[in-house]
Amino acid sequence: MTLEILTADSLAPLRHGFFTRKGGASSGVFHGLNCGQGSSDQSSVVTINRARVAEAMEVPPENLITVHQVHSPEVAIVDGPIKERPKVDAMVTATPGVALAVLTADCQPVLFADAENGVIGAAHAGWRGALDGVLEATIDAMEGLGAKREAIRAVIGPSISQRAYEVGPEFLDDFMAEDPENHRFFANGEGDRYLFDLPAFGLHRMRQAGVGAAEWTRHCTYSDAERFFSYRRATHAGEADYGRLISAIRL
């Protein structure tokens, strides 16, 4: 089966893609293109999957760069292959031939590009990272490499949608403490539960930061098991582990 790669016109002409789970070598609960080195999938199979992604991105496997994601606002500047993955949740580069990639399974994968000035970025933005400023930090780091904020295009890939993201009142409290206006990203759910709109929150933060354009591909990871891995769906199903989707961009 061939890979399925979602793209965005706003990131053209740069090579990029939000890869679905189709076209991978993994089996069982990881069936498809699981690229998570931290999963309990066979490491040799994950290596095969990542090699397929690297080939699609037209880079050698060692130039498909991922990091040790920890739900932080930290950003790494990358200029080539790395020996030890830093504990950060975003990367930026101005080096051609390096593909920046993030892994997700409900959180937001965000790809950034200022094609005119030759700077790109990639961020893993779950609720914690987004609230703590990982998206703004990525934009700042891109500026440090020569990007112009108003020239940056940002695209959020497949993420959990509001209708599938039920949270408790303490979750809402964290967002209200940061800014009372954040209530706009919550809808009432059953009982004391709320439904949180993660992509809308991400778009808001990036637009407030002054990027030239920001959009979401409008794919829900939870709702489409054939195409996407989902941490929350796997948890609800009582599965022991879950696959990780990969999203990548290169100059």
- What is the domain-level CATH number for residue 19? 3.60.140.10
The tokens describing 213, both together, are: 């354009």
pLDDT band at residue 74 using 50, 70 and 90 as cut-offs: very high
Are 249 and 78 in contact by the 8 Å Cβ rule? The answer is no
Please tell me the predicted confidence (pLDDT) of residue 52.
Answer: 98
Q: Is the pTM of this model over 0.95?
A: yes
Judge whether 117 lies within some domain.
yes
Please tell me the predicted confidence (pLDDT) of residue 113.
Answer: 98
Please tell me the predicted confidence (pLDDT) of residue 244.
Answer: 98
Judge whether 184 lies within some domain.
no
Judge whether 74 lies within some domain.
yes
Please tell me the predicted confidence (pLDDT) of residue 146.
Answer: 98
Phi, psi of 134 (to 5 degrees): -65, -30
As a whole number of angstroms, the distance between CA 199 and CA 99 comes to: 23
Q: What pLDDT, in 10s, does the model give residues 182-220?
A: 999 999 999 999 999 999 999 999 999 999 999 999 999
Q: Which of 84, 159, 80, 78 is nearest to 120 (CA)?
A: 78
Please tell me the predicted confidence (pLDDT) of residue 65.
Answer: 98
Judge whether 93 lies within some domain.
yes
Judge whether 18 lies within some domain.
yes
Range of the domain at 115: 5-161+197-246
Q: Provide the mean pLDDT of the chain.
A: 97
Judge whether 185 lies within some domain.
no
Please tell me the predicted confidence (pLDDT) of residue 180.
Answer: 97
Q: How many domains does the chain have?
A: 1
Are 52 and 17 in contact by the 8 Å Cβ rule? The answer is no
Give the contacts of 237 (CB within 8 A, at least 6 positions apart): none
Judge whether 105 lies within some domain.
yes
Judge whether 114 lies within some domain.
yes
pLDDT > 90 fraction of the chain, expressed in percent and rounded: 99
